[in-house]
Amino acid sequence: MNIRSRLLLVFSLPLVLMAGCTSYYRNVETCKERVRAEYPDAASAPLKITGSGAAFQGSRVVVRGVIATPPKPPATKKTDVPAAAECTFSETTLTGFQWLAPSKLIPKAAADDNEDE
């Protein structure tokens, strides 16, 4: 192995290792955009994203935030309600989205028609 081959190997190895990391960052940003798009009360109670976390290579991303709600009498201060959503990915393709909090955004489970039997 000559010196050029060794230098090429040394400089290309970090690029190869970082290639898997790009999907991580891309998936986090995609999930943040989806949370903003799916949030229904943006006009009355703005959502502020405070953080995010992702599993290995961005296969599962959780975005956290707070919703500033206007005060209800007799209270005089705004209250911050925690919010969170989960996105699942296959490579860089979004395959699932669900709200984790607050409870008003979590879809209700369909009632089972066979429960009465």
Confidence (pLDDT) at 79: 87
Token representation of residue 50: 């405070």
Asked whether residue 39 is domain-assigned, the answer is yes
Asked whether residue 38 is domain-assigned, the answer is yes
Contacts of 53 (CB under 8 A, 6+ apart): 61, 62, 64
The enclosing domain of 69 has a CATH number of 3.10.450
Task: Return phi, psi of residue 24, to 5°.
Answer: -55, -55
Measure CA of the first residue to CA of the last residue in the chain; give whole Å: 76
- Give Rg (Cα) of the chain: 21
Confidence (pLDDT) at 83: 96
Asked whether residue 58 is domain-assigned, the answer is yes
Q: Are strands 60-69 and 93-101 parallel, antiparallel or unpaired?
A: unpaired
Confidence (pLDDT) at 97: 96
Tell me the pLDDT of the chain (117 aa) as tens digits: 676 666 555 665 555 545 555 677 889 999 999 999 999 988 888 999 999 999 888 899 999 999 988 888 888 888 899 999 999 999 889 999 999 999 999 888 766 555 554
Asked whether residue 109 is domain-assigned, the answer is no
Asked whether residue 85 is domain-assigned, the answer is yes
Confidence (pLDDT) at 44: 84
Asked whether residue 57 is domain-assigned, the answer is yes
Whether the CB-CB separation of 35 and 56 falls below 8 Å is answered with no
Please give the residue range of the domain that contains residue 52: 21-104
Q: What is the pTM of this model?
A: 0.72
Confidence (pLDDT) at 25: 84
Domain count for the chain: 1
The span from the CA of 51 to the CA of 30, in Å, is 14
